[in-house]
């Protein structure tokens, strides 16, 4: 992940003035006063909201298929909402309360596609970074890790013993350049005997440099 090259002044020069809060209309959809786009815009505006986050699922505020085929339809729907003082500012296909993200192990959050870049906010410093498919380090240059944690394993509260662990993965996928992180990728295993409160030391094995399909 690399820091966004645009400074605050450059970002702000390309950003319109914030007008106020928007409302995800799934929170009231189908109730009295929230049964169609016009009513939603009216109700949201009456509550002091300045924009609508419109739903895209079947039976929602926007006909997704028609919107994909007709710019005129999109302009008409935006005209309806704008006419009530609460224009559409965002489209969403998730439902109210649906879990979108959990935990802080992954530093980027609050993703936005802007200025032709995938921008994210670091959840610890608040710095804006750009996601890049050619950058293999995290914030501050630390090595990127991809973690997979298994469910807790038990057998009627009796102690379990494991003689070996086998991981199926694609081998020989290291990067071509020997000067970058990822040239000789590793996989690491740690385990816990107390329900995840403490963890043992990592045991590492190579996944394989490019073209190396050796089984370890």
Average per-residue pLDDT in the chain?
Answer: 78
pTM of this prediction exceeds 0.75? no
pLDDT tens sequence across 26-81: 777 778 888 888 998 999 999 999 888 887 765 667 887 888 889 999 899 999 99
What gap in Å lies between CA 66 and CA 52, rounded to an integer? 19
Could you give the angle at the alpha carbon of 71 between the alpha carbons of 66 and 75, nearest 5°? 100
pLDDT tens sequence across 131-163: 877 777 777 777 777 777 777 777 777 777 888
Range of lowest pLDDT (70-84, 90-104, 184-198, 202-216): 90-104
Q: Which long-range contacts (CB under 8 A, 24 or more apart) does 168-172 make?
A: 169/207, 170/207, 171/207, 171/208, 171/212, 171/213, 171/214, 171/215, 172/207, 172/208, 172/209, 172/210, 172/211, 172/212, 172/213
What gap in Å lies between CA 144 and CA 122, rounded to an integer? 14
pLDDT of residue 76: 93
End-to-end CA distance of the chain, in Å?
Answer: 31
pLDDT band of 98, cuts 50, 70, 90: very low
Sequence-ordered strand ranges (E) for the chain:
2-3, 22-24, 51-55, 88-92, 108-114, 117-122, 128-130, 186-189, 203-206
Which residues share a beta bridge with 205? 187
Between 209 and 96, the higher pLDDT residue: 209
What does the pLDDT average to over 5-13? 51
Q: In the block, which residue shows the tokens 């224009």?
A: 87
């Amino acid at each position: 992940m690399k820091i966004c090259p645009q400074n605050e002044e450059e970002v702000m020069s390309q950003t319109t003035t914030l007008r106020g809060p928007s409302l995800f209309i799934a929170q009231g959809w189908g109730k009295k006063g929230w049964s169609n786009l016009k009513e939603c815009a009216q109700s949201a505006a009456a509550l002091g909201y300045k924009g609508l986050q419109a739903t895209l699922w079947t039976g929602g505020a926007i006909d997704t298929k028609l919107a994909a085929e007709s710019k005129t339809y999109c302009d008409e729907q935006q005209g309806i909402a704008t006419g009530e003082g609460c224009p559409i500012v965002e489209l969403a296909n998730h439902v109210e309360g649906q879990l979108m993200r959990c935990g802080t192990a992954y530093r980027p959050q609050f993703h936005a596609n802007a200025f032709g870049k995938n921008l994210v906010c670091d959840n610890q410093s608040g710095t804006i970074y750009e996601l890049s498919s050619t950058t293999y380090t995290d914030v501050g240059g630390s090595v990127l890790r991809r973690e997979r944690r298994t469910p807790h394993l038990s057998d009627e509260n009796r102690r379990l013993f494991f003689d070996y662990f086998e991981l199926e993965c694609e081998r020989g996928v290291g990067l071509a350049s020997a000067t970058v992180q990822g040239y000789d990728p590793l996989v690491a295993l740690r385990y816990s005997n107390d329900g995840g409160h403490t963890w043992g030391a990592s045991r590492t094995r190579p996944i394989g440099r490019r073209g190396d399909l050796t089984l370890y």
